């Protein structure tokens, strides 16, 4: 793969125009999509603002194009995609991060004239992306959720002070904007004073958050139902997973995740919500098992490929290829069976290892247990050694930068 910087006047730009699939974003989900398509002989162009993001150096990418970031230059990205010079007419667009889902949804009327994609209009998408809309809807139709409050002012906090529970978390309405500011998914709150201080800070960043309870239990209490629903409402693929470890522990992304047999309770609850929303396409509905009442409680819905996309492919549910066949070839395959295997993000596991040692709660037997199962790695050395080494280099730089900043 020869990296291609954005320059619509050079010959390299013309080389990417005949590809049928364009992937938006360069995170781990994008890497799983690229590899899933490559497994079926389909090449893809990767469009990402960061030339060194996790997927950007994979040998499976046909070309990489550096693009404007939709979070601060959505008009620039729209102009690039709609520019007639690139000749991407009829290409399949696959967004791999929330900001690209929002971008496609809010510009759907224009983009759907030229591209194929499953992202629906903003009236549907916002009810999934924005948790202040998703949680009340779930509660209304009987899908269990965590306990939550939707504060809009300091006066709200003072008026409901006696109703709050600690510790709790401030959870964003829109995760991608929150992570951009705080570099974490939630803010932990231990008392009312801290709640007020952090709520004020959030407001100063023009972000909206909910107050959410923390369900007791370790990372292994988190389960996901993933599915692909076509335009006729038929399920073309489905799979269930369980997190074993997260990075960071408690409120991060899965660093060790396994596929498990379908759990009818979370499948039924997820489909009830997706059907209510008239949702089509690929999605992951995440629940946490609350051992206090044995209910699976809704956490979030991701409407795009997730970091464990390669796990699904290796388990037998190739969602990127299923999407391609449905939208590009108009072929709907029979519902595939899937195997039970483990996905491991080797770089995140190194960080988890040292964090557990530092915290004094490292258990060698528990840590190594997933490595004795059939497994796949986020970036395996044997599969793409150059990409592994480049990823290791940039991950080390990120870790050292964070360590210096935190005074370690």
DSSP string, 119-182: ---HHHHHHHH-HHHHHHHHHHTT--B--EE---SHHHHHHTGGG--SSEEEEESSHHHHHHHH
In total, the chain counts a number of residues equal to: 408
13 pLDDT band, cuts 50/70/90, is very low
Distance CA 53, CA 64 (A): 11
Please tell me the class of the 2-117 domain.
alpha beta
CATH 3.30.1490 residue window(s) in the chain: 147-213
407: left (phi > 0), else alpha (psi -120 to 50), else beta? left
pLDDT in tens, 353-389: 988 898 888 899 999 999 999 999 988 877 888 887 8
Chain centre to alpha carbon of residue 300: 10
CATH 3.30.470.20 residue window(s) in the chain: 219-400
Of 75-89, 277-291, 372-386, 387-401, which one has max mean pLDDT?
Answer: 277-291
What is the pTM assigned to this prediction?
0.88
pLDDT at 9: 41
Distance CA 93, CA 102 (A): 13
96, 23 in Cβ contact below 8 A?
yes
243, 304 in Cβ contact below 8 A?
no
Chain centre to alpha carbon of residue 204: 26
Distance CA 367, CA 388 (A): 22
CATH 3.40.50.720 residue window(s) in the chain: 2-117
- Decide which of 3.30.1490, 1.10.510, 1.10.287, 3.40.50 is the CATH code for 147-213: 3.30.1490
Distances (CA, A) of 298 to 12, 223, 265, 301: 46, 10, 12, 8
pLDDT average, residue stretch 200-229? 95
| pLDDT value at 399 more than 80 | no
| pLDDT value at 91 more than 60 | yes
243, 220 in Cβ contact below 8 A?
yes
335 pLDDT band, cuts 50/70/90, is confident
Distances (CA, A) of 191 to 146, 196, 198, 201, 328: 19, 9, 11, 16, 53
348, 247 in Cβ contact below 8 A?
yes
pLDDT average, residue stretch 31-37? 95
Residue 45: DSSP 8-state: E
pLDDT at 7: 37
Architecture of domain 219-400: 2-Layer Sandwich (3.30)
Distance CA 275, CA 227 (A): 12
pLDDT in tens, 51-67: 888 888 899 999 999 99
């Amino acid at each position: 793969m020869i990296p291609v910087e954005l320059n619509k006047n050079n010959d390299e730009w013309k080389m990417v125009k005949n590809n049928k699939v364009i992937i938006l974003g360069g995170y781990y989900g994008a890497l799983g999509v690229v590899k899933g398509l490559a497994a079926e002989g389909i090449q893809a162009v990767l469009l990402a603002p960061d030339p060194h993001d996790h997927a950007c150096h994979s040998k499976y990418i046909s070309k990489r194009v550096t693009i404007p970031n939709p979070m601060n230059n959505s008009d620039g990205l729209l102009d690039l995609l709609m520019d007639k010079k690139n000749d991407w007419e009829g290409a399949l667009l696959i967004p791999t991060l929330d900001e690209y889902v929002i971008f496609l949804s809010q510009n759907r009327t224009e983009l759907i004239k030229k591209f194929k994609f499953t992202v629906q209009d903003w009236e549907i998408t916002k009810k999934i992306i924005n948790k202040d809309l998703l949680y009340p809807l779930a509660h209304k139709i009987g899908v269990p959720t965590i306990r939550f409050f939707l504060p809009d002012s300091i006066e709200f906090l003072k008026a409901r002070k006696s109703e709050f529970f600690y510790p709790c978390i401030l959870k964003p309405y829109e995760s991608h904007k929150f992570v951009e500011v705080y570099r974490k998914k939630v803010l932990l709150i231990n008392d009312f004073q801290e709640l007020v201080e952090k709520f004020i800070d959030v407001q100063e960043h023009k972000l909206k958050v909910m107050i959410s309870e923390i369900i007791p239990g370790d990372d292994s209490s988190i389960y996901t139902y993933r599915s692909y629903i076509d335009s006729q409402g038929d399920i073309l693929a489905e799979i269930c997973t369980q997190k074993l470890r997260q990075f960071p522990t408690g409120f991060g992304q899965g660093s060790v995740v396994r596929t498990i047999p379908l759990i009818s309770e979370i499948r039924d609850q997820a489909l009830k919500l997706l059907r209510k929303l008239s949702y089509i396409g690929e999605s992951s509905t995440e629940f946490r098992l609350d051992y206090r009442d044995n209910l699976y409680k809704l956490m979030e819905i991701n409407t795009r490929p997730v970091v464990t996309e390669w796990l699904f492919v290796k388990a037998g549910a190739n969602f990127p290829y299923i999407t391609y066949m449905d939208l590009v070839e108009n072929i709907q395959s029979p519902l595939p069976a899937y195997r039970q295997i483990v996905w491991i993000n080797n770089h995140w596991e190194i960080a988890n290892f040292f964090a557990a040692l530092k915290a004094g709660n490292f258990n060698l037997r528990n840590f190594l247990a997933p490595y004795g199962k059939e497994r796949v790695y986020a970036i395996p050395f044997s599969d793409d050694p150059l990409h592994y080494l480049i990823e290791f280099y940039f991950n080390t730089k990120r870790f050292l930068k964070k360590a210096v900043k935190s005074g370690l």
